[in-house]
Amino acid sequence: MSGVLFHEQTARQRIAALADAGSFVELLAPPERITSPYLAQLGIPVSFDDGIVIGHAKIGGKKVYLAAQVGQFVGGAVGEIHGAKLTGLFKAAARDRVPCILLVESGGVRLHEGSAGEIAIAETMRAIFECRALKVPTIAVIATDIGAYGGIGILSTCCDHRIMTEHGRLGISGPIVIEKWMGKKAYNSADRALVWKTSGGKTKYLLGDADALVHDAPEAVRDALTKLIGKSKPVNLGSVKARQKELQNRLKRFGATDDPNVVWKGMGVRNIEAASLASGPEFAALAKRGK
């Protein structure tokens, strides 16, 4: 391991660390200045890449399409340009039958250009399912505390696979939103243990929403990608019905509890404290996913 932490890298550094050396070709790169017309109208500074880096590269000699969101720019939120880049990338993946990887870091739709963002997310989901119908693998990597929320949370779960680290979070409504609606007693967004035990990588892995739980290191993410890059999961009536049954089961078992430890125990974690302190891969070894 190089000692580099994946969640501390910039979007372009993450891509450089995952792709074969020198193989990444950026599409619509910063010099093309494809920026948000809405932010400019509102007097908010724009970014040359509108918060997402897209392109193609090779991983282990295999061609892939790659996107990395820039969480520091408006929370990695999806505006019209950002969304169009995302949609285009997955469409290109379907057209060329090339696997597509999204390094996620986004709170969802950018509220300054909400309608455009919502439409873009819907179009991207359609493109992802186009890939899946063609058995072109799609992978979301969720490895930072900005995580995958809102439309991007939904979009991430549309992909064949999700790779997470213990820093990563996946959900629809963010903790503060839940607290605003349900009250602090129901969900305290300042309680980090509660937040990560409900939406963090460990819990998502336990419930089967994440396919791999890896160290917060580019090498570990790359290893997991190499294993999943050639695999697609079928989407058909059978798989959708099986998933529906799984979710109904989950609701029946854990729907009434307000303690995430009950979920952990129910899913086969024996020693909560040891599991809380364990690294991602150690946790994956400890937890047997309720079997």
Partner 1 sequence: MEKFTKAFPSKPLPTKTAKPWALAGVVGSGNLEVLLESGGRPKDAMECHVETSIPGYKASWLAALADFAHHYPAGGTKVTINDQGAPPVLVTLRLRQAYDHLTKGDK
Residues that bind partner 1 (CB under 8 A): 10, 12-13, 16, 29-31, 33, 43-48, 70, 72-73
CA angle 202, 108, 111 (to 5 degrees): 150
**Closest separation in Å from C-beta 43 to partner 1:** 5
**Closest separation in Å from C-beta 5 to partner 1:** 16
**Closest separation in Å from C-beta 289 to partner 1:** 37
**Closest separation in Å from C-beta 113 to partner 1:** 16
Give the three-class secondary structure for 143: coil
Q: In sequence order, what are the beta bridge partners of 148?
A: 106, 170
Distance of CA 286 to the CA centre of its chain: 23
Closest CB to partner 1 among residues 113, 160: 113
Closest CB to partner 1 among residues 75, 99: 75
**Closest separation in Å from C-beta 84 to partner 1:** 19
Closest CB to partner 1 among residues 43, 238: 43
Q: What is the DSSP secondary structure assignment for residue 57, as one 8-state letter?
A: E
Distance in angstroms between the alpha carbons of the first and the last residue of the chain: 31
| Whether 134 contacts 97, CB under 8 Å | yes
Instruction: Give Rg (Cα) of the chain.
Output: 19
Closest CB to partner 1 among residues 2, 258: 2
**Residue written as tokens 């309608």?**
115
Q: In sequence order, what are the beta bridge partners of 102?
A: 67, 140
Closest CB to partner 1 among residues 10, 248: 10
**Closest separation in Å from C-beta 33 to partner 1:** 8
Q: Where are the alpha helices (DSSP H) in the chain?
A: 11-18, 37-41, 80-96, 114-133, 150-158, 175-182, 192-199, 201-206, 218-228, 237-254, 260-266, 272-277, 280-286
Q: In sequence order, what are the beta bridge partners of 162?
A: 140
Closest CB to partner 1 among residues 217, 278: 217
Buried b (16+ CB within 10 A) or exposed e, 144-161: bebbbbbbbbbbbbbbbb
Q: In 10 A of CB 214, how many CB atoms?
A: 27
**Closest separation in Å from C-beta 209 to partner 1:** 29
Closest CB to partner 1 among residues 46, 224: 46
Closest CB to partner 1 among residues 47, 173: 47
Residue closest to 166 by CA, chosen among 119, 217, 118, 127: 217
**Closest separation in Å from C-beta 122 to partner 1:** 26
Can you tell me the distance from the alpha carbon of 187 to that of 190, in angstroms, rounded to the nearest whole number? 9
